[in-house]
Amino acid sequence: MFIRKDVETELAEVIENASYCDRIDVPGMGSLLFDHIILQENGKTYIQHSVRLEKDIFTEEDLGFLNGVFADIPGEMLKTKREVER
């Protein structure tokens, strides 16, 4: 994973049966927020996932950092799916 496993993750917001948001404060970069919205359609449940970087000024270095974060998302979503299905 692009973010080290030992980095502290904060559960920033929970709306029961609707959504939750994880926050990671990255020194020198800003805050990464991972939003998860629970959607139901045709009897199936889906999770819509988004990532945002909060900081005052964005640089090219930030784009490279975000590319690394985004590359990890499919694998992390599969881990979440497996946990939910247990």
Structure tokens at 14: 């929970």
Q: Note whether 32 and 51 are within 8 A (CB).
A: yes
Domains in the chain, CATH or no CATH each: 10-85 (3.30.530.20)
* CA–CA distance, 81 with 79 (Å, rounded to integer): 5
Number of neighbours of residue 65 by Cβ within 10 angstroms: 19
* CA–CA distance, 45 with 48 (Å, rounded to integer): 10
- Give pTM, 2 decimals: 0.72
pLDDT in 10s for each residue of the chain, 86 residues: 445 566 788 999 999 989 999 999 988 889 999 999 999 999 998 889 888 999 999 888 888 888 888 887 788 778 877 887 88
Structure tokens at 84: 């939910």
